[in-house]
Amino acid sequence: MDNKRTELDKLGEFGLIDHLTEKFKLKNKSSVLGVGDDAAIIEANDKEYFLISTDTLLEGIHFDLMYMPLKHLGYKAVAVNVSDICAMNGKAEQITVSIAVSNRFPVEALEELYDGIKVACENFQVDLVGGDTSSSLSGLAISITVVGRVEKDKVVKRSGAKENDLVVVSGDLGGAYVGLQVLEREKAVYKANPDIQPDLSGHDYIVGRQLKPEARVDIIKFLDELGVVPTAMIDVSDGLASEVLHICKSSEVGCHIYDEKVPIDGATSMTAIDFNLDPNTCALNGGEDYELLFTIDQKDYDKIKGNPHMTVIGHITDKNDGRYYVDKNGSAIELRAQGWNHFED
């Protein structure tokens, strides 16, 4: 008998997924791409693919109801799934919602949760078409499956980046992580003295980045209007470094990412410094920004140049040249993923 025991944190989230699914082979002709990207690709018709993705949010792991309003939670649960469809250059169309809930939640609480889901459905123009409800012994869990669609000649995977492509990111980074630090600080203050009311003044932007992230459906629209199809794309859920490395691994390439190019909002920088955190480290490893990270052919640079929603932060190199983060002094540091591991204590 083999008593070998491997701890989950040895593999990490993505290593575990790879390990558990490596023996599964696609058998159906309609299954174009399975595990390993932001969404699965399924044959739809001669011109289009279906895109399917699932995400689960667990109380105490992915959210804390001491500071996460249920309406915001419903909205966020939809947004993070829609973001996965955006990362394939597609448009989300339907969702199913499954929840597991303990009896400490009244009906009114779940109504609030679904109010947030409804606002997100209206905002992202997706339809709620089904789901499931179950009891739970350990709080609230939400699992959403999203179905989208993309034209076959516009689908974007993580695996298409090539040498000399430019690395581009939408919006700004690090805000969600720094917003979480503010929320955790106020939670600690409240637990120490419940008479002290939380003070979130001046932190609206970064707290909003954590509690109510937006899927960047607008970026997909901008790219389409500009006539740009990225060569590779992923959404920034686990930190910039982790996502860049996912693209490099899938595309079998290297990269140079430049510290001074990474877009960080002023409120994020100032608050990070207040917490004795380096703003760029927050951007690299913080996660939950749900911006889009993508690569484009150099010939498309003039199309996105000057666009306030997109920033070129580096370029793709040959695989043998390594994957590096270049600091302000020009020193090249090997890029490492130090974002959140779901299985660490």
d(CA 182, CA 209): 12
Under 8 Å CB-to-CB from 153, ≥6 apart: which residues?
229
Where along the chain do its domains lie?
Answer: 8-154, 158-334
Q: Helices (DSSP H) in the chain: which residue ranges?
A: 8-21, 70-86, 107-124, 175-192, 204-211, 217-226, 240-251, 266-274, 279-285, 301-304
Q: Which pLDDT tens digits describe the chain residue by residue (345 residues)?
A: 456 777 766 666 556 666 776 676 777 887 777 677 789 999 999 999 999 999 999 999 999 999 999 999 999 999 999 999 999 999 999 999 999 999 999 999 999 999 999 999 999 999 999 999 999 988 999 999 999 999 999 999 999 999 999 999 999 999 999 999 999 999 999 889 888 877 787 899 999 999 999 999 999 999 999 999 999 999 999 999 999 999 999 999 999 999 999 999 999 999 999 999 999 999 999 999 999 999 999 999 999 998 999 999 999 999 999 999 999 999 999 998 875 444 354
The Cα-based distances of 192 to 59, 60, 67 in angstroms read 22, 19, 15
Q: Which CATH number fits domain 8-154: 3.30.1330.10, 3.40.1160.10, 3.30.565.10, 3.60.150.10?
A: 3.30.1330.10
The 10 Å CB-count burial string (b at 16+, else e) for 71-106 is bbbbbbbbbbbbbbbbbbbbbbbbbebbbbbeeebe
d(CA 53, CA 59): 20
d(CA 137, CA 341): 24
Give the amino acid at 271: T
**Residue owning tokens 């994957």:** 323
**pLDDT of the residue at 3:** 66
d(CA 53, CA 151): 17
DSSP tag of 171: S
Instruction: Report CA dihedral (130, 145, 171, 199) to the nearest 10 degrees.
Output: 70
Instruction: Report CA dihedral (264, 268, 273, 275) to the nearest 10 degrees.
Output: -140
Task: State CA 26 to chain mean position distance.
Answer: 26
**pLDDT of the residue at 16:** 67
Contact assessment for residue 127 and residue 194, using Cβ atoms and an 8 Å cutoff = no
**pLDDT of the residue at 23:** 73
DSSP tag of 62: T
**pLDDT of the residue at 196:** 81
**Cα distance between the two ends of the chain:** 29
Q: Which fold has domain 158-334?
A: Phosphoribosyl-aminoimidazole Synthetase; Chain A, domain 2 (3.90.650)
Burial of 338 (0-12, 13-18, 19+ CB in 10 A): middle
DSSP tag of 272: H
Rounded to two decimals, the pTM is 0.91
d(CA 77, CA 79): 6
Contact assessment for residue 170 and residue 204, using Cβ atoms and an 8 Å cutoff = no
Strands (E), 102-174: 127-135, 141-151, 166-170
